[in-house]
Amino acid sequence: MTEKDKGNAVEHLICESTPRQDFFLLVILSVLMATFGLLINSVSIIIGSMLIAPILYPILGLSLGVVIADGKLITRSFYTLLKSVAFGIAGSAIITIFFSSNFQMNPEILARTQPSLIYGTVAMIAGLAASFALIKPQLSATLPGTAISVALIPPLAVTGIGVARFDWGMITNSFILFLINAIGIIFASMVVFSLMHLYVKRDVASKTIKKENLAIEKEQKDAEKEAKKDN
Question: What is the fold, at CATH topology level, of the domain defined by 3-230?
Answer: Glycerol uptake facilitator protein (1.20.1080)
DSSP 78-135: HHHHHHHHHHHHHHHHHHHHHH-TT----HHHHHTT---HHHHHHHHHHHHHHHHHHH
Residue spans of the domains in the chain: they are 3-230
Specify the pTM: 0.89
Query: What are 164-174's pLDDT values in tens digits?
Result: 999 999 999 99
Query: What are 81-109's pLDDT values in tens digits?
Result: 999 999 999 999 999 999 877 788 899 99
Sequence-distant (6+) residues with CB within 8 A of 101 are: none
* CB-CB contact of 185 with 124 (8 Å): yes
| pLDDT for the residue 150 | 65
